[in-house]
Structure formats: C-alpha cells, structure tokens
Amino acid sequence: MSKHLFAVHAAEPRVRKISQMELKSKSKRAELQKLKNEGNFNHNVEVLQKGEGNLIVYRRPGVPANAYDYIHCRFCKGFYHHKLLWSHVKTCSFKPDGAENDTERNFIREARCEIAPFLQQQDEDIEMLDEVIDKMKETKENPGLKKVCQEDELIRQFGLYHLGRLGPLEEQRLKDQDNVRTKMRSLARLLVRLNGEELFSYPLSHFICAQKFDLVAKTVKEMYQEIGSSQLGLNLGHYIKQVSLLKSSMCLRRQDCRRKKEANEFTEMFDAEWKGKVSSVANRSKRLKAMNKRCELPSTEDLVSLKKFLVEEIQIKMENPAPTYPEYVYITHLLIARIALFNKRRVNEVSELKVSDFQKRIRGDELDTNTEIYNSLAVSEKALLKRMELLEVRGKSTRGLRKVFVILSTDMVEGLSHLLMVRAQAGVPSTNTFLFSRCTDSPQDGCEALRVVTSKCHNLAFPERVRTTKLRKYLATTTQVNRSLKIFAARGSECPIVHCLALSNFSMILKFYLI
C-alpha cells in the first residue's frame, strides 16, 4: 500500500507530508496505517449504507460473525469487535491525552453515534421522529422549540440516532420516546440561547467548531445556573459530545473536509476542556446542594397502617363481580400501591406490568420437582416458597436491559386474578396488554395511584412521604441499620448500648417484615 501511495498519489498533501518523514520511523508507519484505516473506514461505511458487501476489519474472525458486532475506533478508524475495542483503545497511539478516563462503554457509544448517519434510515424511522416532534408541547418560557427541532438537521439526526437505539416499537417502554423528545428539546433550548437576539438564526452545526467552543461552554453554564439545575449542564455535555460526533460523520458522508475538520477540532477541545469548564463545576454544585439536605423517610407505623388498609380494601372490592369503570380504576390503584409497598420497587415497574408477565410468573411449587434445590432450603425458606410467586420484568435501565424481580403474595395473586376477570365488565378493551389497564392502550399512572391511596387512608401521620423513591431509601436505611447492629454485636456483645440498640431495632425489623 505504501509503494502504491508514493507512486500514484505522491501529489496528495497527506502523502507528501508522510514521504518527508524519516525513513522507517515509527511515526511514519503510524501515519501510513492511519491513512490505510481511513480508506477501509470509507469502504466499510459504504457497505453498511448499502446493506451488502464485505467489511474490512483489523482482525478477521475465524468463524462467521455479525457485521454489526464490529465498531470502529474513533481515533485511528480501524474496525474491531465491540468486545475487543477496549483493549485496542488502551494502546491506540492516536488517542488524545484527555481520553484516558473514558470507560469502555463511552468508546462504544460514541463510535456508534459517529457511524449512525451512514446506516440505512427507513421511512418508518423518519415518521416516528416526526411523530415525536409533533407531540412536543409549546411553553411560554421557551416558545418555538418544536419548529427548531423540525428544521435543524443536526438535531433531527440526533433524534434519529436515539430512536434507533430503542429498537422496534413493540420493545419500547412508554416513556422511551418521551425521553428522546426531552433530549431534543434541551438541544433546541441551547440553540435558541446561542443565537440570542441575532436577526439570522444559525443552525446548530454552525456552533460545533473550535471558534465557538468557549461560547457553547459559557452558554451551558449560564443556562443551568439560572434555573439552579446542575443536572441540565451535565446532560447537555453528553448531548453536545454526541452532536459533534454526528456532525463529523455527516460531513464525512458528504466528503465535506472543512466542516469535518471543524467537528473534529471541537471534539478535541471538548475532551480537553469541558470537564474543567462545565462538568466539574456542575458536579460540585450538585453535591454541595445535596449536603445537609433533610431526608424525610416514611415511618414504620404509617407503612404498617397502610398495608392493613390496602389488604382490607382489596378484600372488600373483590366481592363486587361487576364493578363500574371508576370502581375498577380504584381497584387498580389499590393493587399497584400494595405491590409497590411490598416490593419497594419503582412504581413504574409495577404499573407497566403486562398481562403476559403475570401469566408467565414463576410459582414456588414449580421448584418442588428439583429435590436437590428444595432440600437445601431452610424451613422458613420452604414456607416462603409456598406463599410467594415471582415476576421477572424489565427495569429502568435502557442500556443493559436489566431485569428486576417483583414478588407476589397470595392476596396479591388473588387480587390480580380478580382484576383480569372483571376488566371486560368495566369496559376495558381486550386489546390492552397492560395488567393495570385504562380504556385507552396505556396503563394506569402509578404515581397517581399512590397519591389516591394515601389520601384515602386517614390513619397516616405523613402520607406525602409514602412515595417509591422514599420507600427505596427506607429499605436501604433499615438494611444498613441491621448490618451495623450485627457488626457491633460481633465486636462487643457485652456492651449494654448494643443490647439496647438490638432490642429497639428488633421490633422495627419485625414491623418491616410485616409490611
């Protein structure tokens, strides 16, 4: 390849620069390798764009492999298997000094963001993007953001990239597209702020260059300080980095070397200076704001009273074989609160349960067939195995698609079975796949369910504290107290304070397990 370059393309600026380097030097070999990798990269993106052909990768696999498992190093443009990219990036000679602290996932995410404009974009993806933008609400504080998102090419490409990560529509959660809309809206707010009072509104790509970097950093800092939200500054930093990679990829696709150089220079400045100018300041402000902040956890007495109220109300409502729609909604609110209170889970993970999840639940008696596992359990574990049933559902994470567990007791299973039996009489369509369904194709609001139920229970001293975020903190606190008592007891069981703490905590732990 080097002989071909020096013989045929000697007049090219980059080849002329390489030919002037010291013969057989390490830097000369590295520049030739990078030039070769860039040629292979241009070929590979054409293959991905057409959807056919062979990829040229740095190390060919010994067995047939999926082309989409390979991703490029954004520093040297060589294609590597996504599981081996981290190993290469550690020693990549073209990696800038500011990228040592990036994690493996960051390199993969940024590379996929850079290559997204080359992938085939289906008509349904563009229709989905238009639908997401059409649902964007206009506000008095930030008018015209919908128009900005519709007209700005880079923001639209940013939205297409994030919608593509969600997968097919049937695999998406309810709020996935809402999250994409929020991200696009944040970029539109930034663009409006960058343009200011100028007569002509520049596109976002105009500000992704080295000359405008200080202006972008200053504007982001002003935006999050005005509203007092450090998280906005951190989020905008992630979005701007992705946008700069998208601009570089789009210019490479159009062979616009000047604008591609602008995007690459902006990315280099971002890696070197953004943390010191914006991210570190925002993180420090966020931590300082959280210091000495009073955390009001729900009391154990309130949780016990609420649990008793829920069990009694569910039993009463189950006696009605043909409830009206308002009565049906109240039953769903009771069951959502009961399951969320028992499991200390995020309320959306409970409210978005599907009918298929309930039908595929794991029953404790199914493990009786495996005698080795069953015989290894303690007596209390065998009793719980007979009482409890298990659901495996999708958690909050959008990256790893982690599953979380929802445990159902006997009274919960009976209540859910009754709910499925009466939904037709209440007017809920059979096409609704959600367990806690509405008349439309959507589930009940879990947060509203907790508010309604806690307002109905009049024995609560602090009903506003019974929320899923505080329930999870309550669980973590009681678990930590129990662990600390065990450590104290192991270090000095003769201490009278330890005995007093153990006795006072024992009643609290008993109440906790009764909830």
Please give, one letter per residue, the 3-state secondary structure of 185-241.
HHHHHHHHHHHCCCCCCCCHHHHCCHHHHHHHHHHHHHHHHHHCCHHHHHHHHHHHH
In this predicted structure, what is the pLDDT of residue 33? Answer: 86
Q: What is the pLDDT of residues 33-67, one digit of tens each?
A: 888 888 888 888 888 777 778 888 888 777 667 77
| Domain locations in the chain as residue ranges | 2-95, 119-290, 300-465
User: How many other CB atoms are there within 10 angstroms of residue 221's CB atom?
Assistant: 16
Tokens 């539109």 identify what position?
Answer: 188
In this predicted structure, what is the pLDDT of residue 430? Answer: 82
End-to-end CA distance of the chain: 72
Q: Does 495 or 287 have the greater pLDDT score? A: 287
Q: What is the pLDDT of residues 433-455, one digit of tens each?
A: 889 988 877 888 989 999 999 99
Round to whole Å and give the CA distance between 236 and 231.
9
Average pLDDT over residues 274-279: 90
Q: Is the pLDDT of residue 365 over 60?
A: yes
Ranges 20-24, 117-121, 426-430: which has the least confidence? 117-121
| CB-CB contact of 191 with 165 (8 Å) | no
Tokens of 296: 């009001």
| CB-CB contact of 63 with 50 (8 Å) | no
| Confidence tier at 143 by pLDDT (50, 70, 90) | confident
Where is 394: in which H helix or E strand?
strand 389-394
In this predicted structure, what is the pLDDT of residue 68? Answer: 72
Average pLDDT over residues 389-396: 82
In this predicted structure, what is the pLDDT of residue 502? Answer: 40
Burial of 397 (0-12, 13-18, 19+ CB in 10 A): exposed
User: How many other CB atoms are there within 10 angstroms of residue 488's CB atom?
Assistant: 15
Tokens 């200390």 identify what position?
Answer: 344
Q: Is the pLDDT of residue 486 over 70?
A: no
In this predicted structure, what is the pLDDT of residue 505? Answer: 43
| Confidence tier at 512 by pLDDT (50, 70, 90) | very low
Q: What is the pLDDT of residues 194-247, one digit of tens each?
A: 988 665 688 999 999 999 999 999 999 999 999 888 999 999 999 999 999 999
Round to whole Å and give the CA distance between 95 and 224.
31
Q: Is the pLDDT of residue 493 over 50?
A: no
| CB-CB contact of 443 with 437 (8 Å) | yes
Tokens of 427: 């007017």
Q: What percent of the chain has pLDDT over 70?
A: 86
In this predicted structure, what is the pLDDT of residue 186? Answer: 93
Where b means 16+ CB within 10 Å and e means fewer, 297-318 reads ebbbebbebbbebbbebbeebb
Fold topology of 300-465: hpI Integrase; Chain A (1.10.443)
Q: What is the pLDDT of residues 96-130, one digit of tens each?
A: 765 555 555 577 777 777 777 666 555 577 888 88
Q: Does 160 or 198 have the greater pLDDT score? A: 160
Ranges 52-61, 352-361, 477-486: which has the least confidence? 477-486
Average pLDDT across the chain, whole number? 82
In this predicted structure, what is the pLDDT of residue 198? Answer: 66
Q: Is the pLDDT of residue 190 over 90?
A: yes
Q: Is the pLDDT of residue 13 over 60?
A: yes
Q: Does 27 or 367 have the greater pLDDT score? A: 27
Closest CA to 349 of 340, 338, 358, 341: 340
